[in-house]
Amino acid sequence: MRLARYLWRGREHVGVVWGECVYSLSLRDPTLRDVGDVLERGEEALWEARRLEAAIRRGESALPEDAGARLSEVRLLPPIRRPEKIICLGLNYRDHAREAGMPIPEEPIFFAKYANALAGPEDPIPRPHAVEQLDYEVELAVVIGREGKGIPETEAMSYVAGYMVLNDVSARDFQFRTGQWTLGKTFDGFAPCGPVVVTAEEVPNPHALRLRLWVNGELRQDSHTGEMIFSIPYLISYFSRLFTLRPGDILSTGTPPGVGMGRRPPAFLKDGDEVVAWIEGIGQLRNRVVPESFIEE
């Protein structure tokens, strides 16, 4: 199942994507505003989404309350509106650590993004005028489906609701200014994500996905999630020992080699550049860099 949050006819909806159309769950229950709301409700809301998907499969979705829209008619938004946590990983691919000139980590390197960084799959990437080293990072993002603390690694995958693409946009000049990575990671719009949440049952092996990124049509990143240093079950178990994971939390699993700072000479993003981030079986983001003149250094 594919769940999306979108703007249609002046109102935000959460719905089920089927083919080139999306069918609203919010028309049935106006309190459902994003995928996080669906997950917070637990099995009842997920059952309703699956029931709607089954009706669509049978061709029974022409009822007024099941009104669908073509994807070309809506604006896709970040699937989760305000997650409690956006957990990010640094250097989780060996070759990326090498290109960054850093040692292979023995434990996960953690930093955070905040909800202000979230952006839709086709929203612009705003470049603050003080940022000169704007970079891209295609990543597989895991969406947590239920609350857990101290989760055993053997049970971790049962806490996964689904997956999406996330571009961990980074201001390298701010990221390395103090050694506190979050400074360069959570500007407004620095986490385009989506285009949908693909539920876990549709991704039997998240460690067997190809991920790629292009800038202006030039392939910059091309790797495989099987190259991660720390696996998804390990990461879920590791972080759940530190803090409680909740429905709608996002765990972004790190980026492979090919980022702009690792090229010789470095190739940072410029105003007008188009960035396409794609993961096999999940979908793609297409975002253009635009200047944002009102952010002060």
Of 77, 108, 123, which residue is a domain's last? 77
What was the pLDDT predicted at 251?
Answer: 99
In a domain, 285, yes or no: yes
Choose between 293 and 194: higher pLDDT. Answer: 194
Same domain, 169 and 221: yes
Same domain, 71 and 91: no
Same domain, 69 and 146: no
What was the pLDDT predicted at 284?
Answer: 99
In a domain, 184, yes or no: yes
pLDDT digits (tens, 9 = 90+) for 142-190: 999 999 999 999 999 999 999 999 999 999 999 988 878 999 999 999 9
Cα 261 to Cα 195: distance, rounded to the nearest angstrom: 26
Give residue 17's domain range. 2-77
Same domain, 42 and 126: no
DSSP string, the chain: -EEEEEEETTEEEEEEEETTEEEESTTT-TT--SHHHHHHHTHHHHHHHHHHHHHHHTT-TTSGGG-EEEGGGSEEE-SSSS-S-EEEEES-BHHHHHHTT-PPPSS-EEEEE-GGGEE-TTS-EEEETT---EE--EEEEEEE-S-BSS--GGGGGGGEEEEEEEE--EEHHHHTTSS-GGGGT-STT-EEEEEEEEEGGG-S-TTS-EEEEEETTEEEEEEEGGGBSS-HHHHHHHHHTTS-B-TT-EEE----S--GGGSSS---B-TT-EEEEEETTTEEEEEEEEEETT---
Same domain, 188 and 259: yes
Inform me whether the pLDDT recorded for 67 exceeds 80: no
Inform me whether the pLDDT recorded for 295 exceeds 50: no
In a domain, 138, yes or no: yes
Same domain, 52 and 95: no
pTM, entire model: 0.95
Give the number of residues written for the chain.
297
Same domain, 136 and 184: yes
What was the pLDDT predicted at 61?
Answer: 53
What was the pLDDT predicted at 3?
Answer: 99
Of 77, 100, 129, which residue is a domain's last? 77
Same domain, 155 and 220: yes
Percent of the chain with pLDDT over 90: 87
What was the pLDDT predicted at 294?
Answer: 46
- At 77, list the tokens: 């938004």
In a domain, 297, yes or no: no
How many domains does the structure of the chain reveal? 2
Of 57, 77, 97, which residue is a domain's last? 77
What was the pLDDT predicted at 32?
Answer: 96
Same domain, 184 and 235: yes
Average pLDDT, the chain: 94
Q: Exposed (0-12), middle (13-18) or buried (19+): which is 228, by Cβ within 10 Å?
A: buried
